[in-house]
Structure 1
Amino acid sequence: MGSTERDILAGVGPRLRALRRARGWTLTRLADETGLTSSTLSRLENGKLRPTLEQLLPLARVHGVPIENLVEAPPTGDPRIHLRPVRYNGLVVVPLTRRAGGVQAYKVIYPPAGREPTTELQTHEGYEWFYVLNGQVRFVLGERDLRLGPGEAAEFDTRVPHWIGSADDQPAELLTLFGAQGERAHLPALRD
């Protein structure tokens, strides 16, 4: 192992300790959340144990950070993020966040009205916020049937029956924030 690799691995322990302490957690609490032993966590934090991928994955998940934040690999020199659109139920979904857990951000492109496979209301755990970038959006939430245009936003508990789609013959583009555990995406109003 070269000196660069040793330096990268040597920095993992202090980063793990800082993340745990920032949450106010004990090693025992972190062990309960990750399935790793307190002894293993202590040895990782103190640099007495080289981290493995099997150890870093649950730690990244629990702390809600990408694994590369734990390792702090040297920069590649290319700051671009290479987004990979995914087709899902007739939609084009572009994940904008790369970390595990917490609020996730997506750009979603809904096909023109009439091309959606279904307008059936759905429910699931979570909380969602969306902002209309382009097009007209039909948003059904419970008994309400709303139409939103560019610059308008909506926020809702996804346990309420809902459906989102284009309202006309043009695609609709949305920026969506979704929290599976019900994290709310709005910011408090600024006070003077």
Structure 2
Amino acid sequence: MDRRTDDDVLDAVGPRLRALRRDRGITLAALAATTGVSESTLSRLESGRRRATLELLLPLARTYDVPLDDLVGAPHTGDPRIHLKPMRRFGMTFVPLSRRPGGIHAFKMIIPARPEPLEPTPQTHEGFEWLYVLSGHLRLVLGERDLTLPPGEAAEFDTSLPHWLGSADGGVVELLILFGPQGVRSHVRAGPHRSSHGGSRR
């Protein structure tokens, strides 16, 4: 059982932040420019002369791409279960599988069954997306391409291209999605595949 007090946990934050910064090879000046926190404040935080607050730790967690718990060395609860909270958007269910504040985000996406097919409404936004079909048949409209992906198929694309996801046959579709901000790409690529709509995927 972890018997550390809150003061013990907070006192250890400074040395942990200094070790993490040095391990990443980042200077205080560069960290200040990235986080928007002044160099003097960061220095006091690392030396223990400034108390860690959520306002200071959040930009650091985003910059280092680590959970807040890792920054403060919070004691483990002993419960390995992850309590996922599904979200409903655009008539579909998204289950977040990652909790880090930055970098690539992972989701399980569920497209419900529909008696009548939907008319595609392609959208664009910044980022890059990789997806893998777990079950069902996914209809992927990407630019001028209209593709059908069966279970086990994957696709990767720049989300600045007009795109739309739906069910190809009206049935339920389940897929995994990795989404990264602009410039972040996954390293898994699908091989050439000829879809039933006559398009090809690269």
TM-score, structure 2 normalization: 0.86
Secondary structure of the structure 2 residue equivalent to 1:122: coil
Runs of 4+ with >4 A deviation? 113-118
Report the AA paired with residue 48 of structure 2. G
Gap runs ≥5 in structure 2: 190-202
Q: Which string of whole-angstrom CA distances, capped at 9 and with x for unpartnered residues, describes residues 31-84 of structure 1?
A: 111121111111111222220111111111221111111112111111100000
Q: Which string of whole-angstrom CA distances, capped at 9 and with x for unpartnered residues, describes residues 152-186 of structure 1?
A: 10000111111111111211001000002231112
Counterpart residue number, 2:200: none
Q: How many residues align?
A: 187
Between 1:170-179 and 1:13-22, the stretch displaced more is 13-22
Q: RMSD over aligned Cα, in angstroms?
A: 1.9
1:97/1:115 Cα in 2 relative to 1: closer, same or farther (>3 Å)? Answer: farther
Identical residues among aligned pairs (%): 60
Counterpart residue number, 1:78: 79
Report the AA paired with residue 151 of structure 1. G
1:99/1:115 Cα in 2 relative to 1: closer, same or farther (>3 Å)? Answer: farther
Counterpart residue number, 1:125: 126
Give me the whole-angstrom Cα distance separating, in 2, the residues matched to 1:113 and 1:119: 14
Give me the whole-angstrom Cα distance separating, in 2, the residues matched to 1:88 and 1:118: 17
Secondary structure of the structure 2 residue equivalent to 1:159: coil
Any conservation in 2 of the 1:102–1:181 contact (CA below 8 Å)? no
Give me the whole-angstrom Cα distance separating, in 1, the residues matched to 2:113 and 2:76: 41
Counterpart residue number, 2:140: 139
TM-score, structure 1 normalization: 0.90
Q: By how many angstroms is 1:122 displaced?
A: 1.1
Counterpart residue number, 2:16: 15
Report the AA paired with residue 105 of structure 1. A
Give me the whole-angstrom Cα distance separating, in 2, the residues matched to 1:117 and 1:86: 21
Between 1:179-188 and 1:141-150, the stretch displaced more is 179-188
1:116/1:43 Cα in 2 relative to 1: closer, same or farther (>3 Å)? Answer: farther
